[in-house]
Amino acid sequence: MLIVAAFFIGKWMGTQKGTTRLIENYAFVKNIAELATLEVSGTTTYKSTNVDQQASWWSSVSAFFTEKSATIMVPYQAKYGVDVSKESISISQQDSVVIITFPPAKLLSYELRLDRMETSNRKGLLVFSDDEFYTAFQQQLYAKSRTQLEQNLRYLQASRDRICNVMDKYFAPTGLTVQCKFK
């Protein structure tokens, strides 16, 4: 009799519905957000010249003697994502929707591949080599290309979309939908 009672109690305990609860694992979501960076690469080109672009006789003569022109083409690699080291992520749940608020997406790293740089320069007869010119030229190249990438709305949106897609896949087995917000 005791064996039969144990059997029915075991069967009853084993057939109860299991429930899944969302555990707001902040550290895990933070790590996923860090891994969901968008990596882009391309080539940045910067040109500088002191030659007047007018097609006059004097412009041609002046360029022959005093021209100082340079062009640099450098490949780059950039990573976009959210910086969770300075700002926090907030996670909340409303019914079957998980709302995750991230810091704003931004350019996280920018690397010029100087080992694959291509340069060309033209100097007039009266122009001598000037190292300061090339140093300033490279600084301008870096500053302008970085600013362009920091303000590139297409890459920033692609970064946000990538983070949201990763979060959707993470929460999909729970049956919850994810709503991503960015500050």
The pLDDT tens digits of the residues spanning 34-53 come to 767 888 999 888 776 666 66
> Is the Cα torsion angle 8, 9, 11, 16 positive or negative in sign?
positive
Task: Confirm if 110 and 78 have CB atoms less than 8 A apart.
Answer: yes
DSSP state of 106: E
- Which residue has better confidence, 98 or 70? 98
> Does residue 21 carry a pLDDT above 50?
no
- Which residue has better confidence, 59 or 111? 111
| Mean of all residue pLDDT scores within the chain | 76
Share of the chain above pLDDT 90, in %: 19
Nearest in space to 101 (alpha carbons), one of 1, 5, 183: 183
> Is the Cα torsion angle 13, 15, 17, 19 positive or negative in sign?
positive
The pLDDT score that the predictor gives to residue 181 is 92
From the number of C-beta atoms within 10 Å of its C-beta (0-12, 13-18, 19+), residue 55 rates as: exposed
Report which residue type is found at 58.
W
Cα–Cα distance, 103 to 145 (Å, whole number)? 24
pLDDT tens track for 58-96: 555 555 555 677 778 889 999 998 888 877 888 888 888
Q: CB within 8 A of 1, min separation 6: which ones? A: none
Helix (H) or strand (E) holding 34: helix 26-35
Q: CB within 8 A of 11, min separation 6: which ones? A: none
Task: Confirm if 24 and 123 have CB atoms less than 8 A apart.
Answer: no
> Does residue 1 carry a pLDDT above 90?
no
